[in-house]
Amino acid sequence: MAANLEVSLGGLRMKNPVTVASGTFGYGQEYEPYYDISQLGAVTVKSISLKPRAGNKPPRLVETPAGLLNAIGLQNVGLDVYLAEKAPYLRERHATIIANIYGHSPDEYVELARRIDAENAADALELNLSCPNVHDARKRGGAALVAQVPETVALYTRAVRSATKLPLIVKLTPNVADICEPALAAQEAGADAVSLINTLMGMAIDPETRHARLANIVGGLSGPAIRPVALKMVWDVARAVKIPVIGMGGICDASDAVQFLVAGATAVAVGSVSFRNPRAAIEIVDGIARYLERHHMTDIRELIGSLVV
Ligand SMILES: Cc1cc2nc3c(=O)[nH]c(=O)nc-3n(C[C@H](O)[C@H](O)[C@H](O)COP(=O)(O)O)c2cc1C
């Protein structure tokens, strides 16, 4: 008999523990030629803001050793198009939807949450409080990211919590001294789950021209290069909080995903690897099932947090 892969993330039921990382899977439609996206535990969409955003100037993507540096700048279709076109498509496909939202104030997050909830356009919300790319790197000491300050994490989380009953996932940035502090702040403010990690801030320079390789100068590093950092942060946070954790950062195959589950993640998100292998996420679902069978486990919960110490 096939093992039970179903997990629950604070009210969000996922048929398996695999979702995709926001910004690496568009709105799901882009992956239609490759497989049936309803087979994923959930589809997490690109961050949605109230108004459409064009994002940063190119170049916005640079390859680095075992990684990808991006400064997309939250380009997205905006809430109206999401509600009119993207969410209906995902509903038609019977996908479980995690809507990742992004704003500039608690009020903007509240409006996004209310309208998405009212139109039944998601099964859970993920708050992107941690994107590093919207502050211009030339302005020294620009405002700290919301996700870097536990008090503002709590403020934003509380505001959205009071506006919706949808399961609420707070996405954390690794660009802090101790990621457990914002994780605990999110939990105390009513988050149902936390997801981590967003990208690590980085930069790359062309030594011949002495120009930064990204027009934005700095960007966010993702991919296998960040996996050990992400895994350690998931391990730390999973022990610090009581709410479930979604782990991500450099997951490329099922054996990577298993590491995050063993470290304590209840679910995982597959990110940058989808650009290289668009079937990666669905292959990881199958690979986890085969892993459980090989290890004579009948339920994914036997694996979660099972690190042998
Ligand atoms: C091109 C690109 C765009 C991204 N856009 C978003 C975004 O819109 N919102 C968000 O919360 N995270 C965004 N992320 C971060 C990913 O969701 C994820 O946290 C990060 O890439 C780590 O996972 P990975 O190493 O598997 O890619 C983006 C990442 C990449 C590479």
- 3-state per-residue secondary structure call for 70-118: ECCCCCECCHHHHHHHHHHHHHHCCCCEEEEECCCCHHHHHHHHHHHHH
| Minimum CA distance residue for ligand 1 atom 14 | 23
Q: Please indicate whether residue 72, judged by its CB atom, sits closer than 6 Å to ligand 1.
A: yes
pLDDT of 274 over the 60 cut: yes
The pLDDT tens digits for 6-64 are 999 989 999 999 999 999 999 999 999 999 999 999 999 999 999 999 999 999 999 99
The pLDDT tens digits for 183-212 are 999 999 999 999 999 999 999 999 999 999
Active site residues: 131
C-alpha 294: how far from chain center: 29
Q: Please indicate whether residue 23, judged by its CB atom, sits closer than 6 Å to ligand 1.
A: yes
Report all structural domains of the chain as residue ranges with CATH numbers, in order of start. Answer: 7-55+74-199+223-302 (3.20.20.70)
Angle CA 142–144–148, to nearest 5: 160
Q: Please indicate whether residue 19, judged by its CB atom, sits closer than 6 Å to ligand 1.
A: no
Q: What is the pLDDT of residue 70?
A: 96
| Sequence-separated contacts (24+) of 77-82 with Cβ below 8 Å | 77/27, 77/48, 77/52, 78/48, 78/49, 78/50, 78/51, 78/52, 78/53, 79/48, 79/49, 79/50, 79/51, 79/112, 79/115, 79/116, 81/52, 82/27, 82/45, 82/48, 82/116, 82/121
Cα(146)–Cα(152) distance, rounded to whole angstroms?
A: 6
Ligand 1, atom nearest to 222 Cα: 25
Specify whether the CB–CB gap between 187 and 194 falls below 8 A.
yes
Q: Please indicate whether residue 100, judged by its CB atom, sits closer than 6 Å to ligand 1.
A: yes
Mean pLDDT of the chain: 94
Best of 128, 156, 197, 198 for a ligand 1 pocket test (most atoms within 8 Å of beta carbon)? 198
If phi > 0 it is left, if psi is from -120 to 50 it is alpha, else beta; for residue 178 that is: beta
Share of the chain above pLDDT 90, in %: 92
Best of 24, 49, 86, 195 for a ligand 1 pocket test (most atoms within 8 Å of beta carbon)? 24
**221 alpha carbon – ligand 1 mean position (Å):** 9
Cα(112)–Cα(106) distance, rounded to whole angstroms?
A: 10
Q: What is the pLDDT of residue 234?
A: 99
pLDDT of 170 over the 50 cut: yes
Give the contacts of 75 (CB within 8 A, at least 6 positions apart).
Answer: 53, 54, 55, 56
Q: Please indicate whether residue 70, judged by its CB atom, sits closer than 6 Å to ligand 1.
A: yes
Q: What is the mean pLDDT of residues 296-307?
A: 98
Ligand 1, atom nearest to 197 Cα: 19
pLDDT of 275 over the 90 cut: yes
Q: Please indicate whether residue 125, judged by its CB atom, sits closer than 6 Å to ligand 1.
A: no
Cα(264)–Cα(307) distance, rounded to whole angstroms?
A: 8
The pLDDT tens digits for 96-154 are 999 999 998 999 999 999 999 999 999 999 999 974 434 334 445 556 889 999 999 99
Q: What is the pLDDT of residue 136?
A: 37
Cα(173)–Cα(190) distance, rounded to whole angstroms?
A: 18
